[in-house]
């Protein structure tokens, strides 16, 4: 309970009581103070009880009514920390996708404009050696899939109809473009709402598909990608400016995740030191693209998850994220919510566990404290921040939901996230993906409170 301080002594109180106009003013002040007190006490419910509240904050995506990316086009679905220290992000929305940056020198988000004809940029943001950004566009993956309610029955009728519904928006879609953005030329000055971002169009790698995952082999000048919904693997030679469609990673169409109304397609690629490009494929087996043979190779390694083998159905998880630590250890996360370590030279996968009952690891990044930070939870569920100590000392730590309290100035509780990156100073950036999204920032370095929140000491 906050202590309310009033100025003046007994004489001033008597004088105020003798003046009706002063009494009215004093009554109004008392009501306002009471409302402030009640709102302040109520706002304490926003504080996350699991860690020091000052370590979490957020920034809006521009200035309101001037440059801010509007609601429904603001869900953040891609983040990248550039070599310059700036954090770049892209949104997905109903009508357009936007590029933005967070500049730590001004402590603000600056919108950079609309990304071509894209309505979504889903984890497809990489940086080239010259500092330019390569962006993969497409349709909005977060948009609800209109499902047919009535259709003829028969063998595998539900799966067949689900595929028709998923593929329907892509039937007449020309395909997602690859774009190049030059920060050195175009970062200065924010764009007004709705203005176009200056981009170089690198073309459409696979027609009738969105670009779903990207990875760059900077030395070989090869850009690799996966598309949705047809799950094609493509290679773009950045020197020759030619793209080759290698073909589908997956043969069967299953719907085990990331969401039940999405086709199960891996959405992360890892380029190893030997040039091989790793992801997951049929039956959850690790596959890699061999740049020497220019073919996809299936391995015996299988990612952890929930596997369903029945007479008429096969279901398996897909890769959601890859992260490499300072020692070169490779970690992956799956659509079923599992974390694992992969050792390709030993053809071995080590299951590190599942931090939540809920499915999905929506995003993952490595912090400065040797912890992997994960955003865990399904779509339209409450996402929680969870860490895993790669040194083996702590295991998993549940940091709870992401709630910011800077009352009486602002307060916000976030439920949906789809992107993460680590800043050059160790700050963890998290992209909210609700309809009016903000960029969240978490500063690691402290352990959660032991025993949780203590009501007798509410800080």
Joined together, the tokens standing for residue 87 give 């954090």
Joined together, the tokens standing for residue 216 give 């760059």
- Does the residue 368 lie in any domain? yes
> Tens digit of pLDDT for each residue in 276-328?
999 999 999 999 999 999 999 999 999 999 887 776 667 899 999 999 998 99
User: Which residue has 């700050």 as its token pair?
Assistant: 427
User: Do 29 and 145 have their domain in common?
Assistant: no
Domain count, the chain: 2
- Does the residue 3 lie in any domain? no
- Does the residue 452 lie in any domain? no
Q: How far is CA 389 from CA 290, 385, 393, 394, in A?
A: 32, 14, 6, 6
**Candidate from 150-159, 263-272, 304-313 with smallest mean pLDDT:** 304-313
**Candidate from 319-323, 366-370, 407-411, 423-427 with smallest mean pLDDT:** 407-411
User: Do 32 and 55 have their domain in common?
Assistant: no
> Tens digit of pLDDT for each residue in 431-458?
999 999 999 999 997 777 654 443 333 3
DSSP 398: E
Q: What is the pLDDT, as a whole number, of residue 25?
A: 57
Q: What is the pLDDT, as a whole number, of residue 17?
A: 42
**Candidate from 43-47, 54-58, 129-133, 359-363 with smallest mean pLDDT:** 43-47
Tell me which of 128 and 54 has the higher pLDDT: 128
**Candidate from 43-57, 132-146, 216-230, 248-262 with smallest mean pLDDT:** 43-57
- Does the residue 381 lie in any domain? yes
Q: What is the pLDDT, as a whole number, of residue 14?
A: 37
d(CA 55, CA 40): 20
User: Do 73 and 25 have their domain in common?
Assistant: no
Residue range of the domain that includes 215: 48-442
Q: What is the pLDDT, as a whole number, of residue 311?
A: 64
- Does the residue 109 lie in any domain? yes
Q: Assess whether pLDDT exceeds 80 at residue 16.
A: no
User: Do 15 and 129 have their domain in common?
Assistant: no
Most confident of 145-159, 246-260, 285-299, 370-384: 285-299
**Of the candidates 309, 229, 316, which has an alpha carbon nearest to the alpha carbon of residue 281?**
316
Q: What is the pLDDT, as a whole number, of residue 278?
A: 98
User: Do 27 and 83 have their domain in common?
Assistant: no
- Does the residue 349 lie in any domain? yes
d(CA 178, CA 212): 11
d(CA 68, CA 66): 6
User: Do 101 and 162 have their domain in common?
Assistant: yes
d(CA 276, CA 102): 32
> Tens digit of pLDDT for each residue in 190-239?
788 789 999 999 999 999 999 999 999 999 999 999 999 999 999 999 99
Q: What is the CATH number of the domain that holds 194?
A: 2.130.10.10
Q: What is the pLDDT, as a whole number, of residue 18?
A: 47
Quote the percentage of the chain above a pLDDT of 90: 71
List of residues 6+ apart from 310 with CB closer than 8 A? none
**Candidate from 120-134, 220-234, 248-262, 291-305 with smallest mean pLDDT:** 248-262
* Mean pLDDT on 324-342: 95
d(CA 53, CA 417): 19
- Does the residue 14 lie in any domain? yes
Q: How far is CA 397 from CA 210, 340, 446, in A?
A: 35, 16, 12
Q: Assess whether pLDDT exceeds 50 at residue 364.
A: yes
Q: Assess whether pLDDT exceeds 90 at residue 389.
A: yes
User: Do 52 and 14 have their domain in common?
Assistant: no
* Mean pLDDT on 364-391: 93
- Does the residue 447 lie in any domain? no
User: Do 166 and 186 have their domain in common?
Assistant: yes
User: Do 263 and 395 have their domain in common?
Assistant: yes
Quote the percentage of the chain above a pLDDT of 70: 86
**Of the candidates 266, 399, 245, 391, which has an alpha carbon nearest to the alpha carbon of residue 321?**
266
User: Do 115 and 42 have their domain in common?
Assistant: no
* Mean pLDDT on 374-384: 90
User: Do 36 and 168 have their domain in common?
Assistant: no
d(CA 274, CA 416): 36
User: Do 162 and 307 have their domain in common?
Assistant: yes
DSSP 369: T
Residue pair 276/289 in contact by the 8 Å Cβ criterion: yes
Number of H helices, E strands in the chain: 4, 32
Average pLDDT, the chain: 87
d(CA 372, CA 366): 5
Residues for the chain: how many in total?
459
């Amino acid at each position: 309970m906050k202590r309310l301080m009033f100025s003046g002594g007994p004489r001033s109180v008597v004088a105020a009581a003798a003046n009706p106009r002063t009494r009215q003013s004093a009554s109004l002040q008392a009501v306002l103070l009471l409302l402030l007190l009640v709102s302040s006490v109520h706002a304490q419910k926003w504080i996350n009880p699991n860690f020091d509240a000052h370590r979490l904050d957020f920034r809006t995506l521009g200035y309101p009514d001037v440059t801010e990316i509007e609601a429904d086009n603001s869900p953040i679905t891609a983040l990248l920390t550039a070599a310059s220290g700036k954090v770049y992000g892209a949104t997905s929305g109903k009508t357009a996708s936007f590029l933005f940056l967070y500049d730590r020198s001004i402590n603000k988000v600056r919108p950079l404009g609309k990304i071509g004809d894209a309505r979504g940029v889903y984890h497809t943001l990489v940086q080239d050696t010259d500092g330019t950004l390569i962006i993969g566009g497409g349709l909005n993956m977060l948009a609800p899939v209109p499902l047919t309610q009535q259709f003829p029955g028969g063998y595998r009728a539900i799966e067949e109809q689900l595929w028709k519904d998923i593929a329907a928006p892509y039937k007449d879609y020309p395909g997602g473009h690859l774009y190049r953005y030059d920060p050195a030329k175009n970062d200065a000055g924010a764009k007004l709402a709705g203005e176009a971002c200056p981009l170089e169009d690198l073309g459409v790698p696979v027609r009738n598909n969105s670009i779903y995952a990207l990875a760059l082999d900077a030395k070989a000048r090869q850009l690799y990608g996966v598309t949705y919904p047809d799950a094609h693997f493509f290679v773009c030679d950045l020197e020759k400016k030619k793209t080759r469609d290698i073909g589908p990673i997956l043969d069967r169409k299953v719907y085990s995740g990331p969401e039940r109304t999405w086709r199960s397609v891996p959405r992360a690629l890892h380029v190893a030191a030997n040039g091989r490009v790793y992801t997951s494929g049929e039956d959850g087996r690790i596959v890699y693209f061999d740049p020497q043979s220019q073919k996809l190779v299936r391995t015996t390694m299988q990612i952890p998850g929930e596997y369903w083998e029945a007479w008429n159905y096969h279901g398996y998880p897909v890769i959601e994220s890859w992260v490499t630590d300072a020692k070169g250890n490779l970690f992956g996360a799956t659509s079923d919510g599992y974390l694992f370590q992969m050792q390709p030279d030993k053809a071995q996968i080590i299951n590190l566990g599942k931090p939540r009952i809920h499915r999905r690891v929506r995003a993952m990044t490595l912090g400065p404290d040797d912890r992997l930070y994960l955003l865990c939870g399904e779509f339209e569920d409450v996402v929680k921040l969870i860490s895993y100590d790669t040194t083996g000392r702590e295991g998993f730590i549940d940091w709870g939901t992401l709630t910011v309290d800077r009352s009486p100035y602002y307060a916000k509780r976030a439920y949906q996230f789809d992107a993460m990156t680590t800043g050059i100073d160790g700050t963890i950036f998290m992209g909210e993906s609700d309809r009016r999204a903000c960029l969240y920032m978490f500063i690691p370095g402290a352990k959660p409170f032991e025993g949780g929140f203590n009501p007798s000491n509410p800080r």
